[in-house]
Structure formats: C-alpha cells, structure tokens
Amino acid sequence: MKILLVDDSRAIAALLEAQLMSLGHQVVLAENGQVALEKFRDSLPELVLMDIEMPVMNGFDATHRIRSFERTQKWAWTPIIFLTASDSQENLIAAIEAGGDDFLAKGLSIDILRAKMKAMGRIARLRQMLAVANQQLEYLASKDGLTGLFNRRWMDLNVDKAWVDAIDKSRSFAVLMLDVDNFKKYNDHYGHQRGDDCLRLIARTIESVIDEVNVKNVTNDVFVCRYGGEEFSVVIPGASVATYECTARHIVEVIRKLEIEHVLNAGFEIVTVSIGAIRIESAAGSVATLFREADAALYRAKNKGRNRVEYAG
C-alpha cells in the first residue's frame, strides 16, 4: 500500500517508516497537517496514519480538510488512522467526528502493526475494486445500448462543459442534427430488427466519416451522440468552416452510397438522412440556442426534399 505517515516527531516517523517499509509498504512522510493535506492531494495514498498534536495544523483539522477534498473527487474515502499516546474517550470521539476511522497507539509492536496493515490492505483492495466497478458503470451509463454511441444523457452532461471551454478560449462551435428520413415507415415495412441494424450501421458510418474527414485531428473535442430514436447529433468545437461543411455533406453522401433498401422513402427508395447544421465563429450566449437553430434547419432540410444538409444562419 501507499501510506501517508504524518507525525512531527522525526524519531517516531523514522521508526514507523522503517517498520512499514519492512512490511512491503510505500511511505510518504509529512511533518504536520498542512503538509499532509498537500501530499495527500499529490500522492493519493491508500491509507493515512495521522498524528494528533502537531504544529501548523493538527491531525483533526487535517482530517477534516482531507474529507472535504475527497467529497470533490469521484473516489469516496481513504482510511485514516490516528496515532496517539492517549486513547482517551475524548480523543476517540474527536477522532470519529473529524472523519477518522481507527486508533493506533504509538510504540506498538511490529506484530500488531503487521496485523493492522493486513486489515487495511484488504480494505484498500476492496476500495480499488469498487472504484473500477463504478468506472465501468459510469461508462455503461454514458453509452447508447443499441448503437454504442454516447447517449443523450452523456451529451447533456458534457456539451455544457465543451461550450464553456469554447467561450473561455473564444473558439468556434458547430452542431449537426441528423435524422433518418422516413424511418418510421422503414420500421413498419421491414420490422424493428432491420430497423435496429440500420441505426447501428448509420452510427458506425457517422463515426467513420469523422475519422475520414480527420475531424479529430482538427479538434479532439468532437463527439457523436444518439440524440433519440432515429436522430443523431455531432458536436464539433473548434472546427473551421471547411471542416464543418465537409463533415455534414460527407455524412449525407456516404449514407446514401450505402444503398440500404427503403422502398417507402419516396423519390429515393434507399435510406437517406437529412442534416440541420449551424456553426458560430466564437461561442457566446446559450448552447441551447444552437441546438434549436440546428433543429429548425433540419426541418427545412426535410421540407426541401430530404437527403440534404440545410445550414442555419
């Protein structure tokens, strides 16, 4: 384990450090609570051994601040054990209220220390497994189960961050809203299984166009989402006019060239898509306005015959 050892006594710290290292642990030293807080943020230990009485900042205050810092992170909790020469009832209550988890008496035997570290090691492994499981759940919750693209929930959470970043950097911002033409008729005629296969293929095709046009070489912030049903969105912060327009046109062209049969898509008899697109040179105002304008442009593309891009503005 990586252990943060906090004690203002050099002699006690040196003895404990040697004992912990002999048991195979990595030790980070801090001489007071203030230094401990800094080193906690930098090293992210799996366990903290915290002295109580120290200059600059005592162990109780340092623990309070560590717990406050942890609340801002995705991982939740690090065991904190107080080192004390007195296991009085008052110290025990104060330690628990500060956010501590246990006591260790200074000068304890190496056997007791070994046993305590084994228990803490089990907790650290369980904590790591929980963190991995939470990351996997978060990843799954961000993905659309049918297409594998990011879902609407993920987009809603992340588009605002991308928008704020674009405002801060005075970057351009582009939104493409894409809809599969006459898709309800496709589902009704060919069945939902064929409909699902069609949406999966369109999702892969949109991503392949992003790669082919080298959009990710222009901006790493581009993302493609399944907006809902047969509707998709592409968000491209920082793209030039040429990249933005080329991406939109190319998506329409490549999907048409797939020549997926759709006899009820009048005038084409293959699957086609329509896109409403908008780009502003410098992000300002509300990103929701861009989505509304892109959506309005999408309706114009539909009304003008489908299988096309309509640009807003």
Q: Is the pLDDT of residue 13 over 60?
A: yes
Q: 106 vs 28, 61, 84, 246, 297, CA distance in Å?
A: 18, 20, 6, 69, 72
- pLDDT tens digit sequence for 165-216: 999 999 999 999 999 999 999 999 999 999 999 999 999 999 999 888 766 6
Whether residue 181 sits in one domain with residue 97: no
Q: What is the mean pLDDT of the chain?
A: 88
Q: Is the pLDDT of residue 219 over 60?
A: no
Q: Is 207 a catalytic residue?
A: no
Task: Supply the DSSP symbol for 70.
Answer: H
Whether residue 92 sits in one domain with residue 62: yes
Confidence of residue 115 (pLDDT cuts 50, 70, 90): confident
- pLDDT tens digit sequence for 220-275: 678 899 999 999 999 999 888 998 999 999 999 999 999 999 999 999 999 999 99
Catalytic: which of 230, 231, 259, 269? 230
Q: Are 51 and 7 in contact (CB under 8 A)?
A: yes
Whether residue 234 sits in one domain with residue 127: no
What CATH number should be reported for the domain holding residue 61? 3.40.50.2300
Q: What is the distance of C-alpha 17 from the center of its chain?
A: 36
- Last residue within a domain, chosen from 116, 141, 166: 141
Sign of the four-CA dihedral 154, 158, 160, 163 = negative
Place of tokens 């570290």: 117
What CATH number should be reported for the domain holding residue 299? 3.30.70.270
Q: How many domains does the chain have?
A: 2
pLDDT-above-90 percentage for the chain: 53
Amino acid at 163: W
Place of tokens 């693209």: 149
Helix 192-212 to helix 183-190 angle (10° resolution) is: 130
pLDDT-above-70 percentage for the chain: 94
| Phi (first) and psi of residue 11, to 5 degrees | -65, -45
Whether residue 130 sits in one domain with residue 235: no
d(CA 78, CA 58): 18
Whether residue 124 sits in one domain with residue 6: yes
Q: What is the chain's length?
A: 313
Read off the pTM.
Answer: 0.61
Write out the residue range of the structural domain in which residue 159 sits: 152-311
Q: 308 vs 1, 17, 200, 271, 292, CA distance in Å?
A: 59, 69, 21, 12, 18
Q: Which residue has the higher pLDDT, 33 or 127?
A: 33
